[in-house]
Amino acid sequence: MSMTNAYDSYSALNIITRPGVGTTGVVLQQKNLEFKRLYIESPLLIYVEKGMKSVRWPGGKYLIRAGEAIVVAGGQSLDITNKLAEDGSYRAHWLVWDETLFASNAESNSDLPVIKNALPMRSDIADFADSLHRAIQAVEDKTVPPIIARHRLQELLVWVGVNGGRLEHSRPPTMTAKVRQLIKKDLAGEWSAETVASAFAMSEATMRRRLAEEGTNLSNLLIDARMSFALQLLQSTAQPVMQIALSVGYQTPSQFAVRFRDRFGFPPTAIRGHRRDS
C-alpha cells in the first residue's frame, strides 16, 4: 500500500485531527535514530511505508518492516528506533482513534485479550490495507460524513480484533498520567509545583511523594512532555523550529536545541536532515 502522493513535498506535512474521529500524520526522517523512553499517550496504529521500525519494552520487541503495521497500546513508554530504507529515507503513517470509539468495540470484543504493549497486524491482507487507507482519508477529508468517518475507524478496531487483541483507552490513572494530561493543555505555560498540586486539590508534598513513588518528578515530566510534543511536530509537520520552540516554552531555537539534545541525545536538525525551515 502506498499513500505518498499527498506528502511528496515536505511542505505538505501536517498533523490532522478530526474531532470525534481521530488524528493522523506522517513521520519522515533522514537519519537512523533511536528514541528512548518515548511516552505513548493514546493507542495508535503505525504503518511503515519505507525503512524499518523497532518497538521495544521490558520483556518484548517487534521489528516492523516496510509494508507492515503495528498497533501500540497507550499509557506506556517504549524505546523506538526508525531505520532508513536503501534510498536513505524513512516514512511511516500513524493513526490515533478518538477515545469515544473504544467503548463499543471493547464491549463487543470482551473475550479478546487487551493489548498491553503492542500487536503486529497482518498487513499482507489487501482488505486491511484498503481499510487503513479509507480510515486515514476519513480523518483528512472533512467531506466524508462524520458517521461514515467514525465507521471507517471502527472498522480498523475490528481488524485489531481479527489479529487477536483489543485496545482500551482507559487504564488506572497514575499521578504521572494525570500530571501529563494537565500540563499538555499549555506546554508553554509556567507550571509550578503549587499550581499543579492545587489543580488536584492536594498539597505540594503529597504530589511530590506520589510522583516519586512512580519514579519521576514534576520537572522531568514537564521536560519530557514538552520535548515529546516537539519531536512529533518536527517529524510530522513543516513548522519552523522557532515556532516549535515557542509552542513548548522556549524563547530561542538555541535554548530549545540544548534541551532537545539533553532529552534525546541528538539535535532537532537530526530529524529533518537536509530540510530547511520555511
CA distance linking residue 183 with residue 236, whole number of Å: 22
What cell does 22 get? 481521530
DSSP string, 9-63: SGGG---EEETTTEEEEEEEESS-EEEEEEEE-S-EEEEEEESEEEEEETTEEEE
The yes-or-no verdict on residue 3 having pLDDT over 80 is: no
- Please name the residue ranges forming H helices in the chain: 102-108, 126-140, 146-162, 175-183, 193-199, 204-213, 218-236, 241-247, 253-264, 269-272
pLDDT the model gives residue 173:
80
Give residue 7's pLDDT band: very low, low, confident or very high (50, 70, 90): very low
Question: Which domains are assigned to the chain?
Answer: 5-162 (2.60.120.280), 175-272 (1.10.10.60)
For the stretch 52-99, pLDDT in tens is 999 999 999 999 999 999 999 998 999 999 999 999 999 999 999 998
pLDDT the model gives residue 122:
81
What cell does 170 get? 482507559
pLDDT the model gives residue 274:
55
- pTM, two decimals, is 0.90
Kindly give, in sequence order, each residue whose CB lies less than 8 Å from that of residue 233, ignoring residues fewer than 6 positions away.
Answer: 15, 239, 244, 247
Give residue 109's pLDDT band: very low, low, confident or very high (50, 70, 90): confident
Name which of 164, 167, 272, 184 is nearest 226 in CA terms. 184
The yes-or-no verdict on residue 9 having pLDDT over 70 is: no
- Give, in degrees to the nearest 5, the angle at Cα 267 between 262 and 271: 130
Q: In what order do the strands lie in the sheet with 33-40?
A: 33-40, 76-83, 52-57, 60-65
pLDDT the model gives residue 172:
66
Taking residues 130-138, report their average pLDDT. Answer: 96
pLDDT the model gives residue 205:
96
Give the mean pLDDT of the chain. 91
For the stretch 142-177, pLDDT in tens is 999 999 999 999 999 999 999 999 998 766 689 999
For the stretch 210-260, pLDDT in tens is 999 999 999 999 999 999 999 999 999 999 999 999 999 999 999 999 999
CA distance linking residue 234 with residue 231, whole number of Å: 5
The yes-or-no verdict on residue 272 having pLDDT over 60 is: yes
Residue for grid cell 534510498: 87
The yes-or-no verdict on residue 11 having pLDDT over 70 is: no
Identify the residue with better confidence: 109 or 271: 271
CA distance linking residue 137 with residue 3, whole number of Å: 10
